[in-house]
Amino acid sequence: MLALLCPGQGAQTPGMLSAWLELPGLRDRLENYAAVTELDLLALGTTADAETIRDTRVAQPLLVAASLLSLHALSLDGPVPAADVTAGHSVGELAASAVAGVLTDDQALVLVRERGRAMAEAAAARPTGMTAVVGGRPEEVDEAIARHGLTAANVNGGGQVVAAGTTEQLQALADEPPARARVIPLQVAGAFHTEHMAPAVEHVRGAAAKIAPADPAVPLLSNADGAVVASGADALARLVTQVANPVRWDLCCEQLLALGVTGVVELCPGGVLTGLARRTLPGVETVALKSPDDLPAARELMTRHGGTR
């Protein structure tokens, strides 16, 4: 059983789309995506520096465009088996919604354009950020996050929780981390998936109201609780509320195992979710699409594991 996973914010790296644009038709496709997002995605994906693509207004559309671009690249040499289930981490959930057929590429890109703008504006209201807490006893990690007034914004499984809040709160956590845990500041520009993003929700809801979603053609997992989303309307509503609510990637991984997933392909820029999968999805074979060089391995995995639904 095959899962296609879509990475979230922080996975972007400078130049990550350069090699992809050498493939037939992908430059034209990215130019179309650029027109929809009203961003120069070609420059952002090839020559922009790390600080430029860290900007939430840029990072979120760029990541969704990258995942969609690599999805289309998979079928350039002929049809590949469809995914049996899909999920995306945070903003990656919009790309996964396109994989599932809930949104078209353009709909996903319009929504992520507005999401990125709204979340950047909310983040600008007060200096906030996110820090990964890796290791430690779960109860001690939870206690430390709560004690410093932070929110467990991403519960990723595999001993990784992402705390989010003000820069002062995050510094206090760094100064007094949980025992046997590493505290790693993340390259994101705000406390996403927390109450700090509440002002962005209504803007995203307004953008979503202009979209007519389809029911999922491929089972789509929700970041809210790992559930298989029942309808396009439910999927779209969840995308809106997820902006200010924690990502439960641990529950998505539990659902992938419960469904019987045996193979995972992580779309571009792959690596983060397959890294987590090695700790949370034992025995599941993975391929991360980091460059076009990974396409043959991904197609081969999809052929062996796909089409079992």
Burial class (CB in 10 A: 0-12, 13-18, 19+), 86: buried
| H or E element that contains 183 | strand 181-185
pLDDT at 187: 77
90 is catalytic: yes
CATH 3.40.366.10 fits 2-124+194-305, yes or no: yes
pLDDT at 235: 98
Q: How many other C-beta atoms are found inside a 10 Å radius of the C-beta of residue 235?
A: 22
Q: Residues 218-272: pLDDT tens digits? A: 999 999 999 999 999 999 999 999 999 999 999 999 999 999 999 999 999 999 9
Domain limits, CATH 3.30.70.250, in the chain: 128-185
Asked if the model's pLDDT at residue 309 lies above 80, the reply is no
pTM: predicted TM-score of the whole model, two decimal places: 0.95
Superfamily in which the 128-185 domain is placed by CATH: Malonyl-CoA ACP transacylase, ACP-binding (3.30.70.250)
Task: Indicate the SS3 state at residue 12.
Answer: coil
Q: Residues 130-149: pLDDT tens digits? A: 999 999 999 999 999 999 99
Of the residues 148, 193, 196, 305, only one is catalytic, namely 193
193 is catalytic: yes
Q: ω into residue 213 within 30 of 0, thus cis?
A: no
pLDDT at 123: 94
Name the DSSP letter for residue 89.
Answer: S
Asked if the model's pLDDT at residue 48 lies above 80, the reply is yes
What does the pLDDT average to over 184-196? Answer: 91
Domain limits, CATH 3.40.366.10, in the chain: 2-124+194-305
Give me 25's structure tokens.
């038709």
Of the residues 67, 70, 90, 97, only one is catalytic, namely 90
What does the pLDDT average to over 161-165? Answer: 97
Asked if the model's pLDDT at residue 152 lies above 90, the reply is yes
Burial class (CB in 10 A: 0-12, 13-18, 19+), 264: buried
User: What ranges make up the beta strands (E) of 40-111?
Assistant: 85-88
What does the pLDDT average to over 25-40? Answer: 98
